[in-house]
Amino acid sequence: MVGIILVSHGPYAEALYESLKMIYGEQDKIETINFKIGESIDDLRKKIDLAKKRLQTEEVLIFVDIIGGSPYNVSSLEINDKVNVITGFNMPMILEILSRRNEKLSVVSSIAKNAGKNGIVDVHEKLYERLNKFCD
């Protein structure tokens, strides 16, 4: 199973996981890390190392909130054949992979990336498309 670590500036990672539990229930092998004001890069690195150890999985997918921030910079140093990092995490991407974590890390990463993109919808535009199809 691919372990998941959600890392964010502030409480976003933990809040998103709490929301996921409302839909999917408690999940195994998911860790959240909130990078707080006043914490150092070393503090964050230690938190990520501890989270990886607690997961006890062969492969780990680390989700970070934004590219270029401290969570991204520290997590990116972890990338290897068994660890990947994806930026810009959102609820659709995490929901989509929860039932697919027994697949290879590369497959789970691809599913997450596509689900994240597909989860962004301009509702007005979507309704307009449907209306046009209905009128044709």
In whole angstroms, how far apart are CA 42 and each of 35, 70, 75?
11, 10, 12
**Among this protein's residues, is 9 annotated catalytic?**
yes
Catalytic residue among 1, 5, 9, 62: 9
Q: In which element (H, E) is residue 73 found?
A: helix 70-76
In the chain, how many H helices and how many E strands? 6, 4
CA atoms of 84 and 61, how far apart (whole Å)? 5
Contact assessment for residue 36 and residue 60, using Cβ atoms and an 8 Å cutoff: no
The rounded distance, in Å, linking the Cα atoms of 37 and 53 is 24
Q: Which residues are the active-site residues? A: 9
